[in-house]
Amino acid sequence: MTDELDLARFRALADAYGGSLARWPLAYRSAATRLAATSEGATVLEYASMLDDQLDTWRVRPVPDDLSSRIVAGAPMPAASLATRARLWWSSFGVAAALAGAAAGAATVLVAVPADPVADGGTSFGELTDAGDER
Protein backbone atom coordinates (compact mmCIF):
# COMPACT_ATOMS: atom_id res chain seq x y z
CA MET A 1 0.00 0.00 0.00
CA THR A 2 1.08 3.60 0.23
CA ASP A 3 3.23 5.01 3.02
CA GLU A 4 0.93 8.02 3.32
CA LEU A 5 -2.09 7.68 5.57
CA ASP A 6 -4.34 10.63 6.33
CA LEU A 7 -6.21 11.05 9.60
CA ALA A 8 -9.65 10.24 8.10
CA ARG A 9 -8.41 6.93 6.69
CA PHE A 10 -6.55 6.23 9.96
CA ARG A 11 -9.81 6.78 11.88
CA ALA A 12 -11.72 4.48 9.50
CA LEU A 13 -9.11 1.75 9.91
CA ALA A 14 -9.21 2.14 13.70
CA ASP A 15 -13.00 1.75 13.59
CA ALA A 16 -12.63 -1.38 11.50
CA TYR A 17 -9.64 -3.08 13.16
CA GLY A 18 -9.57 -1.61 16.65
CA GLY A 19 -6.98 0.12 18.80
CA SER A 20 -4.27 -2.53 18.56
CA LEU A 21 -2.11 -2.04 15.48
CA ALA A 22 -1.20 -5.74 15.63
CA ARG A 23 -4.71 -6.51 14.28
CA TRP A 24 -4.37 -4.11 11.35
CA PRO A 25 -3.39 -5.30 7.85
CA LEU A 26 0.38 -5.39 7.32
CA ALA A 27 0.16 -2.91 4.46
CA TYR A 28 -1.02 -0.15 6.82
CA ARG A 29 1.02 -0.87 9.95
CA SER A 30 4.14 1.19 9.22
CA ALA A 31 2.18 4.29 8.22
CA ALA A 32 -0.23 3.75 11.13
CA THR A 33 2.65 3.50 13.59
CA ARG A 34 3.99 6.88 12.43
CA LEU A 35 0.52 8.46 12.65
CA ALA A 36 -0.12 6.88 16.07
CA ALA A 37 2.90 8.77 17.40
CA THR A 38 1.06 12.08 16.85
CA SER A 39 -1.45 13.42 19.36
CA GLU A 40 -4.37 13.06 16.93
CA GLY A 41 -3.43 9.48 16.12
CA ALA A 42 -2.99 8.61 19.79
CA THR A 43 -6.47 10.00 20.54
CA VAL A 44 -8.02 7.92 17.76
CA LEU A 45 -6.31 4.74 19.00
CA GLU A 46 -7.28 5.48 22.60
CA TYR A 47 -10.94 5.80 21.66
CA ALA A 48 -10.75 2.60 19.55
CA SER A 49 -9.12 0.76 22.47
CA MET A 50 -11.92 1.86 24.83
CA LEU A 51 -14.47 0.58 22.36
CA ASP A 52 -12.56 -2.71 22.05
CA ASP A 53 -12.63 -3.11 25.84
CA GLN A 54 -16.37 -2.50 25.94
CA LEU A 55 -16.99 -5.00 23.15
CA ASP A 56 -14.76 -7.59 24.84
CA THR A 57 -16.79 -7.44 28.05
CA TRP A 58 -20.20 -7.66 26.34
CA ARG A 59 -21.84 -11.06 26.65
CA VAL A 60 -25.02 -12.44 25.18
CA ARG A 61 -27.39 -13.85 27.77
CA PRO A 62 -28.20 -17.52 27.25
CA VAL A 63 -31.57 -18.33 25.76
CA PRO A 64 -34.02 -19.91 28.21
CA ASP A 65 -34.74 -23.58 27.56
CA ASP A 66 -38.48 -23.01 27.33
CA LEU A 67 -38.29 -20.11 24.87
CA SER A 68 -39.45 -22.06 21.83
CA SER A 69 -42.41 -23.58 23.69
CA ARG A 70 -43.42 -20.12 24.96
CA ILE A 71 -43.28 -18.73 21.43
CA VAL A 72 -45.41 -21.56 20.06
CA ALA A 73 -47.86 -21.25 22.94
CA GLY A 74 -48.24 -17.52 22.37
CA ALA A 75 -48.72 -17.78 18.62
CA PRO A 76 -52.24 -17.02 17.45
CA MET A 77 -54.12 -19.99 16.06
CA PRO A 78 -56.41 -19.29 13.12
CA ALA A 79 -59.95 -20.36 13.82
CA ALA A 80 -61.47 -22.36 10.99
CA SER A 81 -64.92 -21.09 10.15
CA LEU A 82 -67.84 -23.32 9.32
CA ALA A 83 -67.60 -22.30 5.67
CA THR A 84 -63.92 -23.25 5.56
CA ARG A 85 -64.62 -26.66 7.07
CA ALA A 86 -67.49 -27.24 4.63
CA ARG A 87 -65.26 -26.37 1.67
CA LEU A 88 -62.64 -28.84 2.89
CA TRP A 89 -65.25 -31.61 3.18
CA TRP A 90 -66.66 -30.96 -0.28
CA SER A 91 -63.22 -30.80 -1.85
CA SER A 92 -62.29 -34.14 -0.24
CA PHE A 93 -65.47 -35.67 -1.71
CA GLY A 94 -64.46 -34.31 -5.11
CA VAL A 95 -61.00 -35.84 -4.85
CA ALA A 96 -62.47 -39.17 -3.77
CA ALA A 97 -64.91 -39.13 -6.71
CA ALA A 98 -62.12 -38.35 -9.16
CA LEU A 99 -59.99 -41.20 -7.84
CA ALA A 100 -62.94 -43.61 -7.99
CA GLY A 101 -63.62 -42.56 -11.59
CA ALA A 102 -60.00 -43.09 -12.55
CA ALA A 103 -59.97 -46.54 -10.97
CA ALA A 104 -63.25 -47.49 -12.69
CA GLY A 105 -61.94 -46.27 -16.05
CA ALA A 106 -58.71 -48.24 -15.70
CA ALA A 107 -60.65 -51.38 -14.75
CA THR A 108 -62.99 -50.95 -17.72
CA VAL A 109 -60.10 -50.64 -20.15
CA LEU A 110 -58.48 -53.78 -18.77
CA VAL A 111 -61.70 -55.80 -19.04
CA ALA A 112 -63.23 -54.42 -22.27
CA VAL A 113 -60.25 -54.46 -24.63
CA PRO A 114 -60.28 -57.56 -26.86
CA ALA A 115 -57.36 -59.91 -26.96
CA ASP A 116 -54.51 -59.01 -29.28
CA PRO A 117 -54.95 -60.79 -32.62
CA VAL A 118 -51.19 -61.01 -33.01
CA ALA A 119 -51.04 -63.42 -30.11
CA ASP A 120 -53.57 -65.68 -31.90
CA GLY A 121 -51.38 -66.01 -34.97
CA GLY A 122 -52.85 -63.13 -36.97
CA THR A 123 -51.60 -59.59 -37.48
CA SER A 124 -52.80 -56.23 -36.36
CA PHE A 125 -54.38 -55.83 -39.79
CA GLY A 126 -56.44 -59.00 -39.64
CA GLU A 127 -55.92 -62.55 -40.86
CA LEU A 128 -53.59 -62.74 -43.82
CA THR A 129 -53.61 -65.82 -45.93
CA ASP A 130 -50.57 -66.94 -47.79
CA ALA A 131 -49.58 -63.62 -49.38
CA GLY A 132 -47.10 -65.29 -51.70
CA ASP A 133 -49.85 -67.00 -53.81
CA GLU A 134 -51.48 -63.84 -55.10
CA ARG A 135 -48.59 -62.59 -57.18
Is residue 44 within 8 A of residue 11, CB to CB? The reply is yes
Interval 74-84: pLDDT, tens? 888 777 777 77
**H/E/C letters for each residue in the chain?**
CCCCCCHHHHHHHHHHHCCCHHHCCHHHHHHHHHHHCCHHHHHHHHHHHHHHHHHHHCCCCCCCCCHHHHHHHHCCCCCCCHHHHHHHHHHHHHHHHHHHHHHHHHHHHHHHCCCCHHHHCCECCECCCCHHHHC
CA 31 – CA 37 distance, rounded (Å): 10
Cβ neighbours of 45 (radius 10 Å): 21
Interval 20-73: pLDDT, tens? 999 999 999 999 999 999 999 999 999 999 999 998 898 988 888 888 888 888
Residue type, 50: M
The domain ranges of the chain are: 7-57
- pTM over 0.85? The answer is no
